[in-house]
Amino acid sequence: MSVPIRVCLVGGGRAGKVHANSLVNHVPGGELVGIVDASPQALQDTGDQFGVEARFETLEAALDGLEFDAVVITTPTFVHKALAVAAAEGGKHVFLEKPMALSIAECDEIMAAAERSGVVLQIGFMRRFAPEFVAAFERIQAGVIGRPMLIKSLSHGPGLPPPWAHDLKKSNGLLAEVNSHDWDCVRWLMGSNPERVYSEVANFKGAARGVTAENFYDNALVNIRFESGGLGSISGVCPCDYGYDGRVEIVGELGIMQIGEMQGQSVVVCTDRQHGLVTPIFRSWAERFEWGYIREMEGFIHAIQTDTPPRVGGEDGRWAVAGALAGTRSFLEERPVYLSEIFDAGWTPA
């Protein structure tokens, strides 16, 4: 066995705990050696839960006071760039949660820092590691459904995002915070980059839940034309309340493929013939992508240990950021937007 990779977790919230669980319980090649969080409460909770003694309020302090090889960054998006660059410059491998950053310029800075330091940079697109997505990708690559023509990907999440994510200036909204996974996986599965996008958004439940941010929306529907000539759609609903729902459907010249389902556990019950059959739904993203989260952390550790490129890197994260920005610009300007307009002009809603 190789020497374990020493990992410092930056961000001890929900996503942080999911990765901590992977490192502590399911990825023996990685060792969780420190936690960074600005909140003393989060530090204590997550540190205690995973038995990690080295706790820091800033990444800077951790870089100074702890020996480690890699960071897993799960903070709010608006600090991704600063943290990822600092870690890379400190010679640490970087696992960075989605969305990669707020702008193309930030993505470029992160990628440049990682390249300069020669560290691994992996983006948190766990669908790329989820067993059913991996199997689907391989079968598409093998030509099972022929040349892809049409793809639909959805991410519907149960609860209202945190306040900072309501504000387009801090987060690029639902199209980035929730639909980053869709932007990445439609590009991955279609085997082609998006060329132009058109989006419509709606706000149904925001006001009732006290959201007052300008341009807030809780429903989004995006229409994509790919460079290949293929078509795509992305939908986002958050809060959808009914569960966590992430599914993809893809039609190729030879047939159709459906990836994922809503059913969260194979237990079916019927006790009332007027009501009908009841079966669990996935209640959260952590349940839905249980193996995806484990496998992506294995993948990160493996890339470090073998000095090979990660399965999903900065370029992929940058495309997802560009998609979210193009989608945002489209609904603000009520017109189709080319990805080139985003890359060229460095457009952001801020």
Q: How far is the CB of 103 from a second copy (least distance, A)?
A: 25
Binding of residue 49 to a second copy (CB under 8 A): no
Alpha-carbon distances, residue 286 vs 263, 322, 331 (angstroms): 14, 26, 30
In the region spanning residues 64 to 103, those forming contacts with a second copy, defined by CB under 8 A, are: none
Q: How far is the CB of 246 from a second copy (least distance, A)?
A: 11
Alpha-carbon distances, residue 336 vs 230, 341, 350 (angstroms): 16, 11, 20
DSSP letter string over 35-80?
A: EE-S-HHHHHHHHHHHT---EESSHHHHHHH---SEEEE-S-GGGH
240/312 with CB nearer a second copy: 240
In the region spanning residues 228 to 257, those forming contacts with a second copy, defined by CB under 8 A, are: 229-233, 235, 237, 240-245, 251, 253-257
Half-sphere exposure of 90 (CA within 13 A, CB side): 23
In the region spanning residues 306 to 345, those forming contacts with a second copy, defined by CB under 8 A, are: 334-336
The number of residues making up the chain comes to: 350
Pairing of strands 93-96, 121-123: parallel
Tell me which stretch binds a second copy (CB under 8 A): 105-113, 114-122, 171-179, 201-209. 201-209
Site string for a second copy, 130-169 (x = CB under 8 A): -xx--xx--x----xxxx-xx-x---x-x-----------
Q: How far is the CB of 100 from a second copy (least distance, A)?
A: 26
Q: How far is the CB of 91 from a second copy (least distance, A)?
A: 27
109/287 with CB nearer a second copy: 287
Half-sphere exposure of 290 (CA within 13 A, CB side): 7
